[in-house]
Structure 1
Amino acid sequence: MLRFTSLTVEDFGPFKGSQTIDFTNENGVIITWGNNGRGKTKLLNAFRYALYGKFQNRRGANVELTKLSNIESHEDGRYGFKVVLRMTDGANNYELTRQYKLRAGVTKPVRNDDYEQHVYLKREGAILPAAEADHILRLIMPEQVSRFFLFDGELLQEYEDLIMEDSDEGVAIKGSIENILGIPVLTNGAVATGMAHEDCLRAMTRVAKSNQQTEQIGAMIEAFEAQLQKHVDEFERMKNELTDELVKRAQLTGEAEQNEHVRTLLTNMNGLEQAIEEKKARRDGIMSQIVVTTKNAWKGLVGSRVTSVLDGVKARAQELEDKEKAQQIASGFVKDMKKAVSEKHCHLCEQDIEEGLLAKIEERIKKAKSSYGGLSAEEAAELKELQGRRSVLEGMQLPSVKERLEVLEQQLTAVRVEIGNSERELKSVREELERHGDIKDLSAVAAENLRQLTICLTKIGNLEEGKKKESDQITSIRTAIAGQYAKLEKLATDSDMLLAKKKADLCGQITSIFEEGISKYRDELKAKVEKDATDLFVRITNDPDYVKLLINENYGLEIVHSTGVVVPLRSSGNEHMVALALIGALHKNAPLHGPVIMDSPFGRLDPVHKHNITEALPVLSDQVILFAYTSEIDEQFARDTLGPALKKEYRLTRVTSFNTRIEPETGGASA
Structure 2
Amino acid sequence: MLRLKRLEVQGFGPFADQQVIEFPNGPGVTVIYGENMRGKTSLLNAIRYAFFGTVVGRGSRPRRLHTISNRELASDGQYGFNVALTFDYDGAEYELVRECIPRVKVPASDEDYSLEVLLRKGNATLGPQEREKALQQVFPREVSRFFLFDGELLQEYEELLINESEAGHRISEAIERILGVPILKRGRAHLTQLSEDADKAAAKEASKRQETQALGTALQQATEQKEAHQKELARKQQELNDLNAQKLEVEQVLQSMQKYASILQERDEANARLDEAGKEEKSMRGDLQRAMGDGWRSLLRDPVRAARTAAQAEAQKEFDAVILSLRAKAIESGHCGTCEQDVPPGLADKLRSTLPAQSAAAVPPGGVSAAMSRLADLNKFNEADNAGEVRQLWKRLEELRLEQVTLRDRISDLTAALSDSEPETLRRSKTSYAEVIEKISVVKRAIDEESKKADEKDQNIQRLKKKLEAAGTSDLRAGQLRAKILRDASEVFGAAVERYKSDLRGRVEATASELFLSMTTEKQDFAGLTINEGYGLTIRHRDSRAEEARSAGAEHVVALALMGALQRNAPLRGPIVMDSPFGRLDENHTANVIETLPKMAEQVVLLVYEAEVGRARMRDLLGSQLVREYELNRVSARRTNVREVK
TM-score by length of 1: 0.69
Is 1:223 matched with 2:225? yes
CA pair 195-61 structure 1, distance change in 2 beyond 3 A: farther
CA pair 524-506 structure 1, distance change in 2 beyond 3 A: same
Cα distance in 1 between the residues matched to 2:235 and 2:228: 11
Is the 8 Å Cα contact of residues 208 and 217 (structure 1) preserved in structure 2? no
Is 1:186 matched with 2:177? no
TM-aligned CA deviation for residue 79 of structure 1: 1.8
TM-aligned CA deviation for residue 478 of structure 1: 3.0
TM-aligned CA deviation for residue 53 of structure 1: 0.9
CA pair 190-220 structure 1, distance change in 2 beyond 3 A: closer
Task: Encode CA deviations 1:561-587: one digit per residue, 9 max, x unaligned.
Answer: 111110002111011111111111111
Partner residue of 1:528 out of 500, 507, 513: 507
CA pair 634-184 structure 1, distance change in 2 beyond 3 A: same
Calculate percent identity across the aligned residue pairs. 36
Aligned twin of 1:55: 55
Is the 8 Å Cα contact of residues 86 and 93 (structure 1) preserved in structure 2? yes
SS in 2 for 1:212: helix
CA pair 488-61 structure 1, distance change in 2 beyond 3 A: same
Q: In the comparison of the two structures, how many residue pairs are matched?
A: 490
Aligned twin of 1:548: 528
Instruction: Map 1:621-660 to 2 at 5 A.
Output: 621-660=601-640
Is the 8 Å Cα contact of residues 194 and 486 (structure 2) preserved in structure 1? yes
Task: Encode CA deviations 1:161-191: one digit per residue, 9 max, x unaligned.
Answer: 1111221111111111111112222112112
CA pair 443-6 structure 1, distance change in 2 beyond 3 A: closer
Aligned twin of 2:586: 606
Q: Superposition RMSD on alpha carbons, in Å?
A: 2.5
Deviates most, 529-538 or 206-215:
206-215
Is the 8 Å Cα contact of residues 44 and 579 (structure 2) preserved in structure 1? yes
Aligned twin of 2:394: none
CA pair 446-122 structure 1, distance change in 2 beyond 3 A: closer
Cα distance in 2 between the residues matched to 1:625 and 1:77: 34
Is 1:449 matched with 2:418? no
TM-aligned CA deviation for residue 203 of structure 1: 3.3
Cα distance in 2 between the residues matched to 1:31 and 1:444: 31
SS in 1 for 2:610: coil
TM-aligned CA deviation for residue 557 of structure 1: 0.7
Is the 8 Å Cα contact of residues 154 and 600 (structure 1) preserved in structure 2? no
Aligned twin of 1:144: 142
Question: Unpaired segments of 5 or more residues in structure 2?
Answer: 267-414
CA pair 261-207 structure 1, distance change in 2 beyond 3 A: farther
Cα distance in 2 between the residues matched to 1:136 and 1:593: 16
Task: Encode CA deviations 1:58-103: one digit per residue, 9 max, x unaligned.
Answer: 3122112121111121222322111101111243111110111134
Query: What amino acid sits opposite 1:480 in the alignment?
Result: E
CA pair 545-252 structure 1, distance change in 2 beyond 3 A: closer
Aligned twin of 1:201: 199
Partner residue of 1:485 out of 461, 468, 479: 461
Query: What amino acid sits opposite 1:226 in the alignment?
Result: A
Is the 8 Å Cα contact of residues 118 and 125 (structure 2) preserved in structure 1? yes
SS in 1 for 2:494: helix
Query: What amino acid sits opposite 1:250 in the alignment?
Result: Q
Is the 8 Å Cα contact of residues 228 and 477 (structure 1) preserved in structure 2? no
CA pair 209-58 structure 1, distance change in 2 beyond 3 A: farther
Partner residue of 2:495 out of 516, 521, 546: 516
Is the 8 Å Cα contact of residues 205 and 218 (structure 1) preserved in structure 2? yes
Is the 8 Å Cα contact of residues 9 and 18 (structure 1) preserved in structure 2? yes
TM-aligned CA deviation for residue 151 of structure 1: 0.8
Aligned twin of 2:120: 122
Instruction: Map 1:355-370 to 2 at 5 A.
Output: none
Partner residue of 2:560 out of 580, 595, 603: 580
Cα distance in 2 between the residues matched to 1:259 and 1:454: 10
Partner residue of 1:212 out of 195, 205, 214: 214
Cα distance in 2 between the residues matched to 1:567 and 1:479: 41
TM-aligned CA deviation for residue 197 of structure 1: 2.4
Query: What amino acid sits opposite 1:5 in the alignment?
Result: K
Aligned twin of 1:426: none
TM-score by length of 2: 0.71
Is 1:91 matched with 2:67? no
Cα distance in 2 between the residues matched to 1:656 and 1:627: 20
Is the 8 Å Cα contact of residues 264 and 423 (structure 2) preserved in structure 1? no
SS in 1 for 2:463: helix
TM-aligned CA deviation for residue 54 of structure 1: 1.2
SS in 1 for 2:21: strand
Query: What amino acid sits opposite 1:613 in the alignment?
Result: V
Cα distance in 2 between the residues matched to 1:540 and 1:240: 38
Is 1:79 matched with 2:82? no
SS in 1 for 2:438: helix
Instruction: Map 1:7-46 to 2 at 5 A.
Output: 7-46=7-46
SS in 1 for 2:604: strand
Cα distance in 1 between the residues matched to 2:441 and 2:202: 35
Query: What amino acid sits opposite 1:192 in the alignment?
Result: H
CA pair 535-124 structure 1, distance change in 2 beyond 3 A: same
Task: Encode CA deviations 1:419-442: one digit per residue, 9 max, x unaligned.
Answer: xxxxxxxxxxxxxxxxxxxx8794
Is the 8 Å Cα contact of residues 655 and 661 (structure 1) preserved in structure 2? yes
TM-aligned CA deviation for residue 258 of structure 1: 6.4
SS in 1 for 2:497: helix
Query: What amino acid sits opposite 1:559 in the alignment?
Result: I
Instruction: Map 1:655-666 to 2 at 5 A.
Output: 655-665=635-645
TM-aligned CA deviation for residue 205 of structure 1: 4.9
Aligned twin of 1:569: 549
Aligned twin of 2:250: 248
Instruction: Map 1:319-334 to 2 at 5 A.
Output: none
Task: Encode CA deviations 1:365-386: one digit per residue, 9 max, x unaligned.
Answer: xxxxxxxxxxxxxxxxxxxxxx
Is 1:459 matched with 2:435? yes
Task: Encode CA deviations 1:612-667: one digit per residue, 9 max, x unaligned.
Answer: 111111111111001112222222211111111111111122222221222223xx
CA pair 235-36 structure 1, distance change in 2 beyond 3 A: same
SS in 1 for 2:235: helix
SS in 2 for 1:17: coil
Is 1:165 matched with 2:184? no
Cα distance in 2 between the residues matched to 1:629 and 1:553: 37
Question: Unpaired segments of 5 or more residues in structure 1?
Answer: 265-438
Is the 8 Å Cα contact of residues 233 and 451 (structure 2) preserved in structure 1? no
Is the 8 Å Cα contact of residues 3 and 89 (structure 2) preserved in structure 1? yes
Aligned twin of 1:424: none
Cα distance in 2 between the residues matched to 1:484 and 1:49: 53
TM-aligned CA deviation for residue 444 of structure 1: 12
Cα distance in 2 between the residues matched to 1:449 and 1:521: 44
TM-aligned CA deviation for residue 529 of structure 1: 0.8
TM-aligned CA deviation for residue 263 of structure 1: 12
Cα distance in 2 between the residues matched to 1:519 and 1:597: 32
Is the 8 Å Cα contact of residues 84 and 97 (structure 2) preserved in structure 1? yes
CA pair 445-120 structure 1, distance change in 2 beyond 3 A: closer
Deviates most, 476-485 or 123-132:
123-132
Cα distance in 2 between the residues matched to 1:208 and 1:601: 65
CA pair 79-529 structure 1, distance change in 2 beyond 3 A: same
TM-aligned CA deviation for residue 3 of structure 1: 0.9
Is 1:502 matched with 2:481? yes
